Amino acid sequence: MTARNRELAYLIVVGALTGLGFASVYIARQSQVSWGSLSYAALFVGLYLVAHVIARVAVPNADPYLLPMAGLLTAVGITEIYRLGPSDAFKQGLWIIVAVAVFAGAVLGLRRDYRVLEQYKYLFGVGAILLLFLPRVPGLGLTVNGARLWVHAGPFQFQPGELAKIFLIVFLAAYLREKREVLAQGRPKDLGPLLLIWGGAMLVLATTNDLGSAFLYYGIFLAMLYIATARLSYVVVGVFLFLAGGAFAESKIAHVHERVVIWLQPWTTTKVYCPLTGTMALRQDCQSYQLVKSLYSIGSGGFGGAGLGKGTFTTATGQQLIPYVNTDFIYSALAQELGLIGASALLLVFMLFVARGMKIALQAEDGFSKLLAAGLTFGFALQTFIIVGGVLRLIPVTGITLPFVSYGGSSVVANFLVLAGLMLVSNRANSQT
Amino acid sequence: MNRQISAVAIASLVLLTSLIVGTTYWQTWAEGGLAAREDNSIQRVAQFEIRRGKIYASDGKTLLAANIRRRVNGQTLYFRTYPTHGFASQAVGYSTESRSRAGLEQEENAFLTASNADLGTFFSTLGDKLKGTTITGNNIILNLNVRAQNVAQSLLRGKCGAAVFLNPTTGAIYVMASSPTYDPNLMEEANGYAKIQATKAQCRPSAPLLNRATQGLYPPGSTFKTITAAAALDDKIFTPSSNFYDPGYCTEYGKHVSNALDQSGGAEAFGNISLFDAYVHSVNAVYCQIGQKLGVKRILDEAKKFGFYSLPPLETPTDARAASGLYFHNSLWNPKHPETDVDVGRLAFGQERMLVTPLQMAMVAATIANGGAEMEPQLVKEVVSPSGHVVQASQPHRLRYSTTPQTAADIRDMMVGVVQRGTGTAAQIPGITVAGKTGTAETGANKVYDAWFICFAPADHPVVAGAVLVESQLNGFGGAVAAPIAKAIMQAILPAASKAKT
């Protein structure tokens, strides 16, 4: 069977799963949703098929597993988003159409040789920085949940950080390919770029209050630097620098400090000062409310889960229990409804995606392609770890999205670009052999 | 480069594996701990998906707690409603989202939500779960007598106080009234809690949520003479006919402790008087002398035999019950040197730092009525499954023998004397021999008393025993304030209880 036929076969399986998911939500919540919900499943099967046809044309030799896995994750996400709030699912559906279009544009536009991107590396570098600081522009930026990550233009809201991540990876892949021999010598003066990026990450942290993104960009950078230079000492020094910077931020920036306190001690037995209301309250009723409610959601899922559409996300009077449940905290919603079995299966799909991405990096011929594929894949893995790890209280919780699954247009578009990048690299690697 | 890519790949997979480990931790090991947390709203909401069992009074018809079905975001939820708006509220309690649960609603939650360990309940619940239908809880039928409870509540209305009446041979509680009462339906309303707290009554704070019957602590006054007399008779130091001289006061530490003021204002002095008559006329000086003979330790030991110093067993939460005994700095006090730390004379007639609950005093009366055997008080008659079969029927359970049948019979005769020709004549019921004891406890405020009456009837084959307490009555004597209420409650119970007996 050819790669594309294999892809089509898997997509049909994913399409059937999507249909089952929506049917399950429909059965569980008949009074709230209509048969029309199943049209979402049909729309998705249609979109997958469009993406598949584009892949056939543009990247015929690309890895056949990536698109079905991305499709599955997106379907799981939209099903849960639909279950949590049908109107959000409609917007998300529109964004997925945009994302598939962007995917089509990327693979079709770069199908001859995506390595032309190397020539514009500084454009990507500068672009990444500009995007990162866009939310700081007065009148354009928007502070959500204590972090300034959004820009809004009219009715549209966009998180430029998601796109900046991809720009940064493209820039680093090109830059490190060029400079890797020099950097590999490990002379002190070559540490310049390392310090520069560290400074950049810290600046991001300080200006946007966003621990998660700083961690993500910096982690991607360290991983790519290590791949390019094979010097573990860079990673050691880099991690040390980050921890030092993080500790400094923890002591100086209230928002960062709060996140750490919530992480270490979400529950208190005595009332502590609550900065949100200015009164004394138990921490679980104040700052760590969201984390604690999310843990209750995960815990109540148990082994088998409540079932799609059967979970509890509102109080008996109909108020939302977990704030941001369909973006940052979608994992705790899924864990409640799908249980340990479903949540683990979901994480296994993430792991398989990462495994395929890394395999592509290994198969790629040239340094730029290897760095690009490995960077995109590691970014995907690290982002998943940061948000799910935060929700599970492994690390302090920070607001970033779960790739492909979370509600959010910029996130979906950016992740389809990751998919496009990996399929382009894969197609080239497989075509040459 | 491939070696490094492999290393990064492994690192990525390790990171993601840690997420599966983390999820496993929260969903298996930590699950129980999370579910048990008080602020776990998911657990709380999940309880609303269950159609809780109904709670009925003893007639099996009067609904005390039922459900209203409401749809919230596509979920069918069952909210509690209390159709009687305040019938035995403190005992029945409430189950709300805003303030969790109280009373029987809390303590019998397992039965009401069908999560009890009964095999039949387990299978029917499992069936409901698999079918996806609503789980229906078991219904609970109480021993509370509608008529008598209503009489008790209406007679106590506006006052602060409590009444507890039970069957002395089975322990079935017919009446558990605490005044002021409240409408549990207010609990889910906005500002409802504040409205309840603002309830007006003779005392301040009126504390309607407090179950005065089981957790209100009051000086027992002369009703405690029953314990003192039981100790004296059990030890055979005295007999009912033992003679005493009453000078109108009792000398303690060189000071006079006067008899209670009689209604006309002066301290009564009876001169030569028997133990029996000293009980009938509630002569403090005599009981002071008996106490001095017995000693503090002996009196406290006798009280313990009646259940003092331990929480009376009941189907309400432990934090809504209090143990009776000596209290010091708001906590139960077991004096290290009882004979020197405690004023024995005042203890003997129910003052000192002795504090009791109306439930405990009702149990004392019931124990005398039952020949010295103390029965476990029971609010729940039976638990019935939704399909109608009895899941659990309460069986009478003897707690202990508190005193000998002979002592119980002697005290019964003394209590009959109280009602026939003593301080408790207001409790006489035509055609029925009533036994009782008044209590008029000093509260610390001048001429303000806690008025008590403990009683049972009919004296020769008792079917009802109980205690009435009315808080802080100006010039309020037990015989004048509490005895008439007790009489009315017993009259409401007697026909039905007598019929049930035959």
Q: What is the pLDDT of residue B128?
A: 72
Shared-domain flag, residues B119 and B166? no
Domain with residue B111: its CATH number is 3.90.1310.10
| B20 part of a folded domain | no
The verdict on A263 touching B (C-beta cutoff 8 Å) is no
Residue B264 has a pLDDT of 44
Under the banding of pLDDT at 50, 70 and 90, the label for residue B165 is: very high
Q: Give, as one character, the DSSP assignment of residue B458.
A: S
Closest CA of chain B from A128, distance in Å: 23
Mean pLDDT value of segment B1-8:
93
Which of chain A's residues have a Cβ under 8 Å away from the Cβ of B25? 392
Tell me, yes or no, whether B123 lies in a domain: yes
> Is the same domain home to B400 and B489?
yes
CB–CB of A79/A22 below 8 Å?
yes
Show residues of chain A in contact with B73, CB under 8 Å.
Answer: 32, 314, 318
Question: Other C-beta atoms within 10 Å of A268: how many?
Answer: 16
Beta bridge partners of B139: B384
Instruction: Say whether residue B126 is in contact with chain A using an 8 A CB cutoff.
Output: no
B134 lies in the same domain as B152? no
Q: Are residues B234 and B353 in the same domain?
A: yes
Query: Residue A375 CA to chain centroid, in angstroms?
Result: 13
- Give the DSSP letter of residue B185: G
**Which residue segment(s) compose the domain that B58 sits in?**
47-138
CA angle A265, A270, A272 (to 5 degrees): 70
SS3 A138: coil
**Does residue B8 lie in a domain region?**
no
A366 in contact with chain B, both atoms CB, cutoff 8 A: no
CB-based contact, B23 to chain A, within 8 Å: yes
> Residue B436 corresponds to which amino acid?
G
Cα–Cα distances (Å) from B417 to A330, B406, B408, B436, B479, in that order, read 76, 17, 14, 8, 13
Give the distance from residue B196's alpha carbon to the nearest chain A alpha carbon, in angstroms: 21
Is there a contact between B298 and B231 (Cβ–Cβ < 8 Å)?
A: yes
- Identify the residue among A269, A298, A325 best suited for mutation to test binding to B, counting B beta carbons within 10 A and taking the highest: A298
In a domain, B5, yes or no: no
Give the nearest partner residue to B27 out of A335, A378, A384, using CB atoms: A335
| Domain match, B261 and B341 both | yes
B4–chain A nearest CA distance, Å? 5
Residue B431 lies in a domain: yes
Exposed / middle / buried, residue A50 (Cβ in 10 Å: 0-12, 13-18, 19+): middle
Six token digits for residue B228? 């003192």
Condensed to tens digits (0 to 9), the pLDDT of residues B108-134 reads 988 998 877 677 777 777 777 666 677
CB distance from B14 to chain A under 8 Å? no
Most confident of A173-187, B136-150, B235-249: B136-150
CB contact under 8 A, B28 and A318: no
CB A360 within 8 A of CB A428: no
Q: Does A231 touch chain B (CB under 8 A)?
A: no
Q: pTM (2 decimals)?
A: 0.70
* Candidates B5, B30, B43; nearest CB to A361: B5
Pairing type for strands B139-142 and B161-166 reads unpaired
Q: How many domains does chain B have?
A: 2
B198 & B82 share domain: no
The arithmetic mean of pLDDT across residues B436-464, rounded, is 92
Q: Give the torsion sign (CA, A411, A413, A414, A416).
A: positive
Residue A39 DSSP one-character state: H
Interface check for B35 against chain A (CB to CB < 8 A): the answer is yes
- Residues in chain B closer than 8 A to A340 (CB atoms): 23-24, 27-28
Residue indicated by tokens 């304030």 = B481
Per residue in B393-411, pLDDT tens?
999 999 999 999 999 999 9
- The mean-pLDDT minimum among A374-378, B125-129, B301-305, B324-328 falls in B125-129
Q: Which of residues 313-332 of A touch B (CB under 8 A)?
A: 314-318, 321
For B:36-95, CB contacts with A below 8 A are 37, 39-46, 48, 71-75, 77, 79
Q: Are residues B76 and B193 in the same domain?
A: no
Do residue B72 and residue A284 have CB atoms under 8 angstroms apart?
no
Provide the residue type at B410 as one letter: D
Q: Which amino acid is at A79?
A: T
Same domain as B119, residue B157 = no
Q: Report, as ranges of residue numbers, the positions in chain A whose pLDDT lies below 50.
A: none
**Reduced DSSP (H G I as helix, E B as strand, rest coil) percent helix, strand, coil of chain A, to 5:** 70, 5, 25
Chain B contact for A141 (CB, 8 A cutoff) = no
Residues B100 and B207 occupy one common structural domain: no
Q: What is the mean pLDDT of chain B?
A: 89
- Mean per-residue pLDDT, B215-219: 95
Question: What's the Cα-to-Cα distance from B346 to each of A40, A98, B277, B303, B340, rounded to whole Å?
Answer: 82, 88, 19, 15, 13
Q: In chain A, positions 29-48, which contact chain B (CB-CB < 8 Å)?
A: 29, 31-33
Contacts of B249 (CB under 8 A, 6+ apart): B256, B257, B258, B259, B267, B269, B285
Put simply, whether A395 touches B (Cβ < 8 Å) is no
Residue that is last in its domain, among B107, B138, B169: B138
Q: Do A314 and B45 touch (CB under 8 A)?
A: yes
Of the candidates B114, B138, B162, which is a domain's last residue?
B138
- Write down the H helix ranges in B235-283: 275-280
Q: What are phi and psi of A318, to 5 degrees?
A: 95, 10
Q: Evaluate whether residue B320 is within a structural domain.
A: yes
Pick from A141-145, A423-427, B20-24, B355-359: least confident: A141-145
Of residues B304 and A287, the one with the higher pLDDT is: B304
- Residue in chain A nearest B14 by alpha carbon: A351
- What pLDDT is recorded for position B241? 93
Q: Are residues B125 and B223 in the same domain?
A: no
| pLDDT score of A421 | 96
pLDDT of residue B164 exceeding 70: yes
Would you state the pLDDT for residue B147? 95
| Chosen from B5, B94, B135 to mutate, greatest number of chain A CBs within 10 A | B5
> Quick check: B263 pLDDT over 80?
no
The full 3-state SS of B371-435, as one line of letters, equals CCEEECCECEEEEECCCCCEEEECCCCEEEECCCHHHHHHHHHHHHHHHHHCCCHHHCECCECCE
pLDDT at residue number A214:
83
Tokens 């004023």 belong to: B343
Contact between residue B53 and residue B115 where contact means Cβ atoms under 8 Å apart: no
Residue of B nearest to A350 (CA): B16
Distance from CA of B42 to the nearest CA of A (A): 6
Which domain-ending residue is among B120, B138, B156? B138
Tokens representing B430 are 């035509």
pLDDT averaged over every residue in chain A? 87
Contact A374, A354 (CB under 8 A): no
Q: Are residues B266 and B287 in the same domain?
A: yes
Q: SS in 3 state form for A369-431?
A: HHHHHHHHHHHHHHHHHHHHHHHCCCCCCCCCCCCCCCCCHHHHHHHHHHHHHHHHHHHHHHH
Which DSSP string do the residues of B460-480 spell out, in sequence order? SS-SEEEEEEEEEEET--III
Contact B466, B489 (CB under 8 A): yes
Give the per-residue pLDDT at A397: 87
Minimum CA–CA partner of B29 in chain A: A299
Shared-domain flag, residues B187 and B306: yes
